[in-house]
Every structure is written in C-alpha cells, then in structure tokens.
Chains A and B, each alone.
Chain A
Amino acid sequence: MLDQIIRDYREAVFDTDGEGAVAVAENALNNGIAAEDIVFKVVIPVIEEMMAVINRDPDANLAQHFMTAQIAATVTEKMLVHFRQPPASQGKVVIGTSAGDLHSLGKRIVMGCLKSLMIEVVDLGVNVTPERFVDAAVEHDAQVIAISSMMIHTARGENGSLAVRRLLQERGLESRVKLVVGGAPYRFDPELYRTVGADAWAEDGITAGRVIQDLIRAVTRP
C-alpha cells in the first residue's frame, strides 16, 4: 500500500500538481497511514529524488524546482498537525536576506526544504541587519544563521555576511552559531563564501537543506 502511495505521490510531484499531492497524502491518512510515515517515507524521499533529477538535468528548470519545494512544504505542514507527538526538532535556523536586499524567493525555497526536513525556521524577512541576525540566533538558540543575497554588493558588502562574522567573533559565539550563505553571486564565484566569512554555501534549496543539516550536527555534537 505504501508503495502505491509513493508512486501516486511521486507522479503528482513530478507533474508539480500541488492539489494532487495533498490529495494523495490526505487519502493515505484516511486509510490509516501514520502522518509520520507519510512525511519520512513518502514526502522526504520523493523530494530528494525530484531534486536529484532536477539537478542532473543540464536544462534545470527553476520553475519546477520552486513548485516542487513548495509542494513538499505544504504537504509536510498539513501532515505535522496529525503527528502523535510534536516532531523532534532537528535543529533551528534563523534566516533572512541581507541588508539592502529585498529578493526573497531563494530564501522562500530554502525555508520550504528546511521545514520538510523538520528543521525549525525563524524567518527574519528581508533587509535584515547583521545585529538582528545575531540577536535572533541568540534569542532563539539557533545553531545556524542563513543569509540570502541576490546582488553582488549585498553579498560582498559591509552590512552582510562579513559583518555577521565579525559580530559572532566579538561575542564569542563562533562555536555555537554557524553561518551559511546562498544566492546568485555565490553561484558565479564558488569561493566567494570564504571571502565573506561564511562556513558554507549552498547552490539550491535541497542542497541548502543538507548543508544546514550538517552544520547543525557539527554544532550539537559534544
């Protein structure tokens, strides 16, 4: 039965049919499948598979990437309500776009992937100052700060990742809080993340999910 659900769900996701995907998940729930199983055995494997397909494709279709991440987030959110106990958090991330940058689509995709991976996300929105990033990480006890920058000057500039790194140093938080960056400028120059003082970068939503998972583990390990 689970195999059939996976097949149906995969077909709906492959066709970016959000309503169809939700219907498959809700049907499964009505047929007695646990919400936990739907998320961990259907939603997460299928989104990873889809992203692998999209990433292999030389003509990677961004539109399909966006829609796929959105479907995963929507279905996960609907299933979480039915969990027998609140899901064990895999960690916490504060996320936002850098100061001066109002491009929020990339952040949006990353958030969708993180939510479907059971990572808690504190969304600080757009145009976030370095101080707010660091203050929020401390306040929410987050392991990772994620900064999205779509423009070269906001990625390299003095009010972005560089300043967050400086604050983490000054406040002695570097072992507790990791810094990850993403956005178009980092794709043009894969070494740029080092220049701006980040611990890691990610090329797309699903990679961001994995990279952030790894950073969280690095922090929580004794």
Chain B
Amino acid sequence: MATSAECALTVCAADSRFVTRAAPGASLRDALLQERVFLRASCSGRGICGGCRVRVRSGSLSPATNAERTLLTAALLDDGWRLACQAKLVDDAELDCTDLAMSSGWTALGSAELPQRPLLKATAAVQGPPLGLAVDLGTTHIRVSLWDRRNGQRLSALTTRNPQSGYGSDVLSRLEAAAGGAAHQLSASVLAALGSALGDASALAFGAAAIDHVGRCVIVGNTAMLLLLTQNPSARLLDPVNWRNRISCQPPDGSEWRAPWGLPDRAVVEIAQPLSGFIGSDLLACVLVSRLMEHDVPALLIDVGTNTELALWDGNRLWVTSSPGGPAFEGVGISCGMAGDPGAVYRLQPGESGDELKAAVIGDRIAVGLCGSGLVDAVALLRARGVLRPSGRFNAAPRPGGYPLKLAGGSELSIEPGDIDAFQRGKAAIAASAQALLTEAGMRWEHLHKLHLCGVFGQHLQLDNARAVGLIPGLPDDRVAMHSHAALRGCEEALLERDGCRLLETVAERCRPLNPAHIEHFEDLFIDHLRLQPWPPSEVN
C-alpha cells in the first residue's frame, strides 16, 4: 500500500523498467506521457480507437469503462489488458509494455525473439557517450535497438514500417521515385522515423534524458536503402554498370543528422558499407551472426525479405547474390497478408474437425491476417488437402472474396488466387537463386550441412511445410537453423565492437558476388520452381 499522495507506476519494457509517479486519478496515458512515452492512439485518448492498450501486471486501477468493454474482449480484460486512456491509477501499479505501440508507429520487438546479449563481449573502454543504437534499415521494416555499450545490455528494441513504403513497396519503384525528384523526401522520411525511434527507445529505457547519452549509431541495410538514406545519386543503382562495384554510402558530416535526432555533438553515426549494388551490409550482418564462415562445411544462408539476399559458404569462399522476389512474405501484396504485428497468424495447423485450422496469433489476439510463416502454412495445408493443385490453381474456383480459412474459435480469413500466384513467384525467385549459387559453386543441395534462415520468418517457419511447397530444399530439421532479427543482431555486434564495421568488412573480403541478371538459365530455374512441390533431387552429372 502506498502511503504517499502519489502512486508509483512501474513500466516494464523488453529488457528494462522504470518507475514514474502520478497522482491518484491520473490515467495511465497521462502518467506515461509525462515520461515522454507516446502511446499509439488515433483518437487523442477518447477511448474510441483502442490503440493505446497496455497490459497491467499488478496493482490497483479504476474499473473497466464501457469503452474498454467494447474495444477489448472479456478474455483480454481478464488477462489484464486495459486502454491507457481509460484506466486511472488508484494505487501503485505495474505495466507490461513489451508489446507497446508507440505514437510514431514504432512497436516493441518481442524480447523472446532476441537473445539477451550479443555473442561478443562488449569492449571495456567505451569512448564517448555510453549508449549506442543499432539500426537494420530494411525495405519494408526498420528495426532498431538501444544498448548500454559499457555492460553490453540491450535496453530496448523497436520496429516500424519503412515510411518510404508510400513511394512503392519494392526497391525499384523507390529508386525510380528518387530519380523522379522525391530523393529528399525519401531520405527525410527515414531520418524522421529514426529520430522518433531514438526518442521512443531512450524514453522506454530511462526516460527522456537518455538520448543525450547516445554516443554511437551503426546502420546496416540493403544498398538501395543506404543510397536513398544518404541521398547518393540513386540513379547510379539503376545503371547495371554500377551493380558490381562497391558503392560508398556515407552520412553527411557535422550535425545534419545529430541535431534533429537530439544526439550529442560527440555522437558518431556509421553506415556499414554495402558490398555491391545488389548486396547490402544487412547480408554481411546476417553472415556474422550465423557464424557461417567459422566452419569448413558447406552451408547456405537465406535472408528472406522484399529483397532476399543469399550467401553460400563452400568452406573457402562466400558466394553471394540477391533475389528480387517481392514483398509477399512480408505480407505486402497479399489480400490476407500482414507484417508480423499483433494479430498476425504466424502458424497454422490442422484443427480438430473437418476443414478447421488451429491458428497461433502474435499477441494472442483475434486473427487479423497472415504473416509470412502463416502464408507458407496456409498454402502447404491447402495443397495437402488437395484444395490447391501443384500448379497453384484451385481445384474448384473459390467464391468471390477468396477461399475461406476457417479458424478454430469461429473467426475466418480468406485467401485468393492472386495470393497463391504471388506466393509462387516469391518462393520460386528464392529457390532459383539458391539453386543458381549452388550450381555456380559446383555443389548440390544435398551436400549442404546447414541451411540458415534469416529475415521475415523469424523462428516460426514450420519446416515440413516450407519443404513441401519447395520454399527450401529438403534438408532434415537438424540441418536447418532459424535466426530471428539476424541483420539487427549482426549490426549490434558491429555496434559493440570498437572497430565494429571492420568485422563486416572481413566478411565482405571473402565474398564472390554473383549478379542475378548474369546467372545463366535463371529463368529456367525460376519457372522450374514455380510449382508447389518439394525440390527435386539434384541431377548427378
């Protein structure tokens, strides 16, 4: 029982907590606002949008309002969920903000998917202000994490949609938009997003003052994203002459970025340099985290995203290429698709009865759509039930609006023929690139000791389904490793090492880039892999 006039509100984020005090009767939203924690709310706190929901671990709050009973299910209320704008402090309370939606659109990255510490030890002597920010600048998503570089502790991790998505979902349309005069806006939108991420991440960790302690920021990303960020003449990437060359993407000197971000003058912003026009430093970061090159056995790494990048280690050289498979696995361009946000179905399994399916949903909420791994499961299950043919055609044309996926518990999603098409082209592009790398290195997929999967699937991919539809080769489970947020984690290693970007350079030095446009028979491989069937055994010459 608190005896003072004020209530103590303890806020627990991914890997940190802080305590704020507010008068009894203050809403959770107001209490958080005074710590500059801006919850997502499109109704300005009037109990209409439901965006500011938070989970109360313990403590004493006002009873649920009508607004909360309307916007939250009984099950959610029982589980401690409240709307921050409605729930008022009566006494001390503790909030769980690991799934917090920030006003900027940044949400917390699930701590379950991020190992607590990097594999490397933090260097003892940290120069400059002690905190550091790691950034994985993806085409569809941006992920950041804030670190205390002195003790190697992650303070918070956040993700959001890349705001450039408004200029086009794929790399090519963004480059064309930049060449067409939008270069400044494209760069500014990401800079603004990173600025608010810094604010949110440091507010979540320590309260508002922490941003003054950020001394280093390291950014990894694909080449196009880094070019657009630094406003390099991005037309260069549209010219194939530059694809093979290393392209320098340097941040501007001085305070051009630091000042708007609120970083101290001594802070250093580093961009991990891309390998070539089509291989970014995000792939190098994934290679670092997977420890691909530390064993002398053949292994393949696939970083699945809008622009999928692949690396094949033959024990001596690293063959790398990229595959423009499109954003299907990120939920873009799929009628029932969504990112791996709360409400996304990440796993589907056959249900108890009939054609019902058991769905696992991120955040234990009502199913809203399918994220990448859920889409793989849906296609594989429909294929196994004979609803889909190997060609990708439905056995019987589905009703308008799509084929229903009936989920246990009564909800329903639906999947359309166009979704299957996008899925087929996405998985065929990845499989064809992987096959092309193997051929170039003189190897067969059966020889792979390990397949490392990074990127959008996180830990959730059901491997038997991925094999059945031919997304990955037919390696047994114990030869497949899944790494969540690998590019971000590789970036974190670079952040915590004093000469961190040098680590990524050592990976780059072993690379043999294979230009996807110069792969012989790529189209044959692509078309061969369009069918929904397992990889065929390699032909032995």
**Chain A: residues with CB nearer than 8 A to chain B?**
14-17, 57, 59, 61-64, 66-67, 70, 100, 102-105, 108, 126-127, 151-153
Do A67 and B176 have beta carbons less than 8 Å apart? no
Complex Cα distance, B172 from A16, in Å, reads 30
- Residue-by-residue, is B166-182 near A (CB-CB < 8 Å gives 1, otherwise 0)? 00000010001001000
Do A63 and B392 have beta carbons less than 8 Å apart? yes
Select one of A16, A62, A127, A153 contacting B531, CB under 8 A: A16
Complex Cα distance, B521 from A105, in Å, reads 10
Contacting residues, chain B, for A103 (C-beta < 8 A): 517
Q: How far is the CB of B321 from chain A (nearest CB, A)?
A: 13
Complex Cα distance, B176 from A100, in Å, reads 14
Q: How far is the CB of A152 from chain B (nearest CB, A)?
A: 6
Q: How far is the CB of A189 from chain B (nearest CB, A)?
A: 14
Measured CB to CB, the nearest residue on chain A to B531 is A16
Q: How far is the CB of A168 from chain B (nearest CB, A)?
A: 25
Question: Total A-B residue pairs with C-beta atoms closer than 8 Å?
Answer: 71
Question: 18 additional contacts, CB 8 Å, given A70-B524, A100-B238, A151-B172?
Answer: A15-B389, A15-B391, A16-B390, A59-B417, A59-B421, A62-B421, A62-B425, A63-B392, A63-B421, A63-B530, A100-B239, A102-B517, A103-B517, A104-B517, A104-B523, A151-B238, A152-B176, A153-B238
Is B428 positioned at the interface, with any CB of A under 8 Å from its CB? yes
Is B464 positioned at the interface, with any CB of A under 8 Å from its CB? no
Contacting residues, chain A, for B418 (C-beta < 8 A): 59, 61
Contacting residues, chain B, for A17 (C-beta < 8 A): 390-391
Is B240 positioned at the interface, with any CB of A under 8 Å from its CB? yes
Measured CB to CB, the nearest residue on chain B to A65 is B421
**Chain B: residues with CB nearer than 8 A to chain A?**
172, 176, 179, 238-240, 389-393, 416-418, 420-421, 424-425, 428, 515, 517-518, 522-524, 526-527, 530-531
Most B C-beta atoms less than 10 A away, residue of A57, A64, A126: A64
Contacting residues, chain B, for A15 (C-beta < 8 A): 389-391, 393
Contacting residues, chain A, for B393 (C-beta < 8 A): 14-15, 61, 64
Measured CB to CB, the nearest residue on chain A to B429 is A105
Complex Cα distance, B420 from A62, in Å, reads 10
Most B C-beta atoms less than 10 A away, residue of A63, A105, A126: A63
Most A C-beta atoms less than 10 A away, residue of B176, B389, B392, B527: B527
Do A63 and B240 have beta carbons less than 8 Å apart? no
Complex Cα distance, B389 from A153, in Å, reads 38
> 7 smallest A-B Cβ distances: which pairs?
A102-B517, A16-B391, A63-B424, A59-B417, A108-B523, A61-B421, A63-B530
Q: How far is the CB of A52 from chain B (nearest CB, A)?
A: 15
Q: How far is the CB of B269 from chain A (nearest CB, A)?
A: 31
Do A67 and B531 have beta carbons less than 8 Å apart? yes
Contacting residues, chain B, for A16 (C-beta < 8 A): 390-392, 530-531
Do B179 and A153 have beta carbons less than 8 Å apart? yes
Measured CB to CB, the nearest residue on chain B to A152 is B176
Contacting residues, chain A, for B176 (C-beta < 8 A): 151-153
Query: Can you report 18 A-B residue pairs in the complex whose CB atoms are below 8 A from each other?
Result: A15-B389, A16-B531, A59-B417, A61-B424, A63-B391, A63-B421, A63-B530, A64-B393, A66-B526, A66-B527, A67-B527, A67-B531, A104-B517, A104-B523, A151-B176, A152-B176, A153-B179, A153-B238
Q: How far is the CB of B147 from chain A (nearest CB, A)?
A: 40
Q: With A61-B421, A63-B428, A100-B240 known to touch, is A105 a contact of B390 (CB < 8 Å)?
A: no
Measured CB to CB, the nearest residue on chain B to A97 is B517
Complex Cα distance, B44 from A148, in Å, reads 51
Select one of A59, A67, A70 contacting B391, CB under 8 A: A67
Complex Cα distance, B243 from A127, in Å, reads 13
Do B517 and A63 have beta carbons less than 8 Å apart? no
Contacting residues, chain B, for A70 (C-beta < 8 A): 524, 527
Complex Cα distance, B523 from A102, in Å, reads 12
Complex Cα distance, B394 from A15, in Å, reads 10
Do B523 and A61 have beta carbons less than 8 Å apart? no
Q: How far is the CB of A71 from chain B (nearest CB, A)?
A: 9
Q: How far is the CB of A16 from chain B (nearest CB, A)?
A: 4
Complex Cα distance, B527 from A16, in Å, reads 10
Complex Cα distance, B26 from A136, in Å, reads 79
Q: With A16-B390, A152-B176 known to touch, is A61 a contact of B527 (CB < 8 Å)?
A: no
Q: How far is the CB of B185 from chain A (nearest CB, A)?
A: 19
Do A67 and B417 have beta carbons less than 8 Å apart? no
Do B523 and A126 have beta carbons less than 8 Å apart? no
Measured CB to CB, the nearest residue on chain A to B179 is A153
Do A14 and B238 have beta carbons less than 8 Å apart? no
Complex Cα distance, B517 from A105, in Å, reads 10
Complex Cα distance, B30 from A142, in Å, reads 76
Q: How far is the CB of B463 from chain A (nearest CB, A)?
A: 23
Contacting residues, chain A, for B421 (C-beta < 8 A): 59, 61-64
Complex Cα distance, B416 from A15, in Å, reads 18
Complex Cα distance, B523 from A126, in Å, reads 13
Contacting residues, chain A, for B425 (C-beta < 8 A): 62-63
Q: How far is the CB of B386 from chain A (nearest CB, A)?
A: 13
Contacting residues, chain A, for B389 (C-beta < 8 A): 15
Do B517 and A126 have beta carbons less than 8 Å apart? yes
